[in-house]
Structure 1
Amino acid sequence: MHIVAVLALDRVVPFDLATPIEVFSRTLLPSGRPGYEVRICGASPEVDTGAFTLRPPFGLGGLDDADTIIVPGRDANPPVPAEVLDALRRAAARGARIASICSGAFIFAETGLLDGLRATTHWVGAAELARRHPAIDVDPDVLYVDNGQFLTSAGAAAGLDLCLYLIRRDHGSAVAADAARLSVMPLEREGGQAQFIVHDQPPTPRGSALEPVLAWMEENCAKELTLEDVAAYAGMSTRTLNRRFREQTGTTPLQWLLRIRVRRAQHLLEATAYPVDRIAGEAGFGSPTAFRERFKRVVGTSPHAYRASFR
């Protein structure tokens, strides 16, 4: 039988720990037999989750013959014990499949096994993962990434998406669909993690000469503003305006304006029943088609799907 070992370390996130235990342990094959044997493996006899203390039935030796190893996230990402990293490397060398949930990617990354590969984690920690491990191509927009032997997923519910995906890989869509129904979860969710990211503007230094310009742009974002319009309000040439924006915000005036418009559109989709075409105009997009294309590019899903999820 396929053995799934779930790694439990101090400060493990209980949700991330419980998700693979529940999903895999309740998966049944068409014959009625269990699809998986699930083990909880700890680096110590007792694991402090913060909310409670856990006594894993297996130590790290439980990873030695596991077919799949799940690495849940941890709060605050404390140092990873060397013996844990060694156990994961040994498992990888013999061909075990390893998958992380949420900030478990930080543990996974410490092994070096993700170097040169694409990976993801919770969008809040994506930039930090990329900073700590520049050899990893961190994608903050997706729900999970499959590199074959090594997989990573975004935060919380994305761990459930990953588990269902693994079941489908192992046993086919029918078994995975049954597991999804038990979890009251679609087998595949539309869009990626990008739709959950809060698209704030880059910080502007307090007292910056651009502050009144940025406020004016936000107030007037529904109008057809051009670079020349913004430069005229700022009392600068377009070249100087672009340079100041780059220096103080890290982006261009028009990119800043587009982000303001997308953010306003998100608010209108969440808080009103306006038709999408009206929201396109209220947010300052030239046409509904341009709005839909830009929204999909930034948020990762369509305006209709976003509204269905968040209104």
Structure 2
Amino acid sequence: MPQRTVLAVLFDGVQSLDVTGPLEVFAGAETCAPGSYRLRTASLDGAPVRTSSGLTLVPDAALAEEPDPHTLLVPGGAGTRRPDPRLTDWLRTHAPRAERLVSVCTGAVLLARAGLLDGRRATTHWAYCDTLARHHPAVDVDPDPVYVRDGHIATSAGVTCGIDLALALVEEDLDRRTALTVARHLVVFLRRPGNQAQFSAQLSAQTARREPLQEVQRYITEHPDADLSVEALAARATLSPRHFARAFQAETGVTPGRYVDRVRLEHARRLLEDTTDGVEEVSRASGYGTPEAMRRAFVKALGVAPAEYRRRFHPAPAP
């Protein structure tokens, strides 16, 4: 098994979790499969850097001293807003030599400044997608996914999405079982596939302004198996069904039915990923009623049936 060197680029104003999150994943994989990864960090001059949270990171070396790595990890952070021109120049010259180029959060901005994302699909933290697209029109910016793969370049969304991407890379390099073992040791709540949206149903919808509608949102999340018809929810908000439906959509940006669908799908996915409950039990607990209703919802939203979805997270034991 070849050893893959992962080199993380450090600079003043870097987001510490963009660095430590992915490196902890690769370090965990190295523990599971000794000899699989060699982890290195480097700054422009080899000097310590101060992160955006005030922590000091001491690199292993200067960037000029490091040989071309297998995986070059470019984190984000406040330091990407006005980066040292020498860093952009180094990336432009040396990043293409890496077998795999990975950015976390606004690290994609550094790659774009160096011209490395031109003509490619990429993502970054949702708050900076518009800025990235506006300043770098040659980049095909997709604001929705957790991470995007385009050839040997992978870009991820905000902060913890770098962990999701690193887990996917470990699965690609080694195997699914190792990636899942690392995820469990890190107590990662949900190992998200790349095409999953950056936000959960609760975060992607706006929080209602009025307390009765906020209470309805909480109730839906906590009771996905309850009667969540418009009539039942309207009664909880003490509104007529028509008034409730209009007010809910106006304040959250989605219809009550769409919100319920998203919550139930996420609840079912978590149960399939994190428990051994049967498909029939999961369908009842998530409010679908029957396995067939849940199967239709999964195929429509994810393109895969519940049983196959579970196999992705719980592969059969090796013979």
TM bin, normalised by shorter chain, reads 0.5 to 0.7
| Partner in structure 2 of residue 210 of structure 1 | 213
| Partner in structure 2 of residue 171 of structure 1 | none
| Partner in structure 1 of residue 72 of structure 2 | 70
| Partner in structure 2 of residue 61 of structure 1 | 64
| Partner in structure 1 of residue 87 of structure 2 | 84
Give yes or no for the alignment of 1:16 onto 2:22: yes
| Residues 71, 101 of structure 2: 8 Å contact kept | yes
The correspondence for 1:234, drawn from 225, 235, 239, is 239
Partner SS state of residue 204, structure 1: coil
| Partner in structure 2 of residue 246 of structure 1 | 249
Q: Unaligned 5+ residue runs, structure 1?
A: 29-33, 168-175
| Residues 8, 17 of structure 1: 8 Å contact kept | no
The correspondence for 2:151, drawn from 143, 148, 153, is 148
The correspondence for 1:261, drawn from 237, 241, 264, is 264
- Per-residue CA deviations over 1:237-264 (Å, capped at 9, x if unaligned) read 3xx5544333200111111111332354
Partner SS state of residue 126, structure 2: helix
Q: CA RMSD in A?
A: 5.1
Within 5 A, what are the aligned runs for 1:20-59? 40-48=41-49, 53-57=57-61, 59=62
Partner SS state of residue 113, structure 1: coil
The correspondence for 2:293, drawn from 287, 290, 294, is 290
The correspondence for 1:136, drawn from 136, 141, 159, is 141
Partner SS state of residue 263, structure 2: helix
Query: How far apart, in 2, do the equivalents of 1:272 and 1:22 lie?
Result: 23
Q: Structure 2-normalised TM-score? A: 0.61
Classify 1:85/1:151 alpha carbon distance in 2 versus 1 (closer, same or farther; 3 Å).
same
Give, in angstroms, the shift of residue 127 of structure 1: 1.6
Query: How far apart, in 2, do the equivalents of 1:38 and 1:271 lie?
Result: 30
Partner SS state of residue 146, structure 1: strand
Query: How far apart, in 1, do the equivalents of 2:230 and 2:214 lie?
Result: 17
Amino acid at match of 1:14: T
| Partner in structure 2 of residue 102 of structure 1 | 104
Classify 1:130/1:74 alpha carbon distance in 2 versus 1 (closer, same or farther; 3 Å).
closer
- Per-residue CA deviations over 1:81-132 (Å, capped at 9, x if unaligned) read 222122212346x6655512533445434445335533356xxxx4224243
Q: Unaligned 5+ residue runs, structure 2?
A: 134-139, 184-190, 315-319
| Partner in structure 1 of residue 225 of structure 2 | 222
Classify 1:236/1:197 alpha carbon distance in 2 versus 1 (closer, same or farther; 3 Å).
closer
| Partner in structure 2 of residue 127 of structure 1 | 126
Give, in angstroms, the shift of residue 228 of structure 1: 5.9
Amino acid at match of 2:89: D
Query: How far apart, in 1, do the equivalents of 2:180 and 2:226 lie?
Result: 46
Amino acid at match of 1:70: L
| Residues 85, 110 of structure 1: 8 Å contact kept | yes
Give yes or no for the alignment of 1:161 onto 2:161: no
| Residues 205, 248 of structure 1: 8 Å contact kept | yes
Classify 1:22/1:89 alpha carbon distance in 2 versus 1 (closer, same or farther; 3 Å).
farther
Query: How far apart, in 2, do the equivalents of 1:82 and 1:308 lie?
Result: 43
Residue identity (%): 25
Amino acid at match of 1:133: L
Give, in angstroms, the shift of residue 133 of structure 1: 1.9
Partner SS state of residue 254, structure 2: coil
Classify 1:289/1:81 alpha carbon distance in 2 versus 1 (closer, same or farther; 3 Å).
farther
Amino acid at match of 1:8: L
| Residues 195, 299 of structure 1: 8 Å contact kept | no
Moved more, 145-154 or 195-204: 195-204
| Residues 120, 140 of structure 1: 8 Å contact kept | yes
| Residues 100, 152 of structure 2: 8 Å contact kept | yes
Give, in angstroms, the shift of residue 301 of structure 1: 8.8
Aligned length: 280
